[in-house]
Amino acid sequence: MPENPAWLVDASIYVFRPWFVRDPVPLDRQGNPANAVLGFLRFTYNLLKTEQPQQIGFAFDTSLHTSQRKAIYPGYKANRASAPDELKRQFQLCRDFLDALGIVQAASHHYEADDIVGAWAQRQRESGHACMIISGDKDLAQLVGEHDIWWDYGKRKPLPPGGVKKEFGVWPQQIPDQLALAGDAADNIPGVPGIGMATAAKLLQKFQTVDILLSRIPEIGQMKTRGAKRLQALVDEHQATVRLARRLTGIECEVPDIPLDLWRKEKDLPRLQALCELLGLSDQQFRLWAAV
């Protein structure tokens, strides 16, 4: 593991996962559902207590309908409904709790959490720090540099660059090209029909990037792989789709108006205590949060 890395958390998945655990649904002191925020806090406490990060930031999504990718492709994430109000409320409580802990949290109306993590990763590398990229989304594996780790914390093992290659079939920097070829149903990004992640990985093993692949399409038919001629025809037919998708799958690392200093700050204990009381946490749990 890297020494004294910056921990960059793609926060939303760690809110959504407990949101879907709904039997029974715990309530806060005002009678509102608290399953998502309490689950997120369990994840956060475990991370802080076990790893003791000194630099850490949590990136959230608020840009479902206003992100710059929507301007490129209106169908981007069109398969996703807006979060219900009771979930939006819990997202805000997660962010308020982090503020009370003195931990940086950020969101943007035009950029996604992936991009915020990308901007943080770029800044940390410029400062000589390795990054622990905490996410359940393979898209963020593209940010893994030589000394970095991608880790779906609590669910999977941490992956350095070689681990990403073993897990996904391509090197980190090839992830956006792989997704551009295969498409990404979760984000409603089109790909080449009939090409999945494994076939995309095979193509990238030979051609390295989408740009090189599209400049040498006739060579696809000469590959020693089953259906090579059909693959050639498919890529040739769907070149425009691949080029469009590649504009969507890459992470933007220049994001304005976000905090870049990720060192932990002093806690706001009165605010932290009030949030603990609202969420029905005990005095002992408040003391544990105050000490973490």
Give residue 280's region: left, alpha or beta (phi > 0; psi -120 to 50): left
Structure tokens at 23: 């039997």
Cα three-residue angle 121-124-125, rounded to 5 degrees: 85
pLDDT at residue 63, as a whole number:
65
pLDDT at residue 80, as a whole number:
87
Give the pLDDT band (50/70/90) at residue 70.
very high
Is the model's pLDDT at 231 over the cut of 70?
A: yes
Mean pLDDT of 245-249: 98
What proportions of the chain, in percent to the nearest 5, are helix, strand and coil?
50, 10, 40
Is the model's pLDDT at 2 over the cut of 90?
A: no
pLDDT at residue 81, as a whole number:
85
pLDDT in tens, 249-287: 999 999 999 999 999 999 999 999 999 999 999 999 999
Structure tokens at 6: 């910056």
Higher pLDDT, 3 or 75: 75
pLDDT in tens, 5-59: 999 999 999 999 999 988 789 999 999 999 999 999 999 999 999 999 999 999 9
Kindly report each contact of residues 246-250 with a partner whose C-beta sits within 8 Å and lies 24 or more positions away, as own/partner: 246/176, 246/177, 246/180, 246/210, 247/72, 247/73, 248/69, 248/72, 248/73, 248/76, 248/180, 248/187, 248/189, 249/139, 249/175, 249/176, 249/177, 249/179, 249/180, 249/184, 249/189, 250/142, 250/176
HSE-CB at 94 with a 13 A cutoff on CA atoms is 36
Pairing of strands 131-134, 104-106: unpaired
pLDDT in tens, 121-178: 999 999 999 999 999 999 999 999 999 999 999 999 999 999 999 999 999 999 999 9
110 within 8 A of 67, measured Cβ to Cβ: yes
Burial 271-285 (b: 16+ CB within 10 A, else e): ebbebbebbebeeee
pLDDT in tens, 207-225: 999 999 999 999 999 999 8
Query: Cis bond leading into 74, ω under 30°?
Result: no
DSSP state for residue 189 in the 8-state scheme: B
pLDDT at residue 23, as a whole number:
79
pLDDT at residue 66, as a whole number:
83
- Full-model pTM: 0.95
Q: How far is residue 246's CA from residue 180's CA, in Å, rounded to a whole number?
A: 5
Give the pLDDT band (50/70/90) at residue 82.
confident
**CA distances from residue 99 to 57, 111, 139, 252, 279 in whole angstroms, order as listed:** 11, 21, 27, 25, 16
234 within 8 A of 192, measured Cβ to Cβ: yes
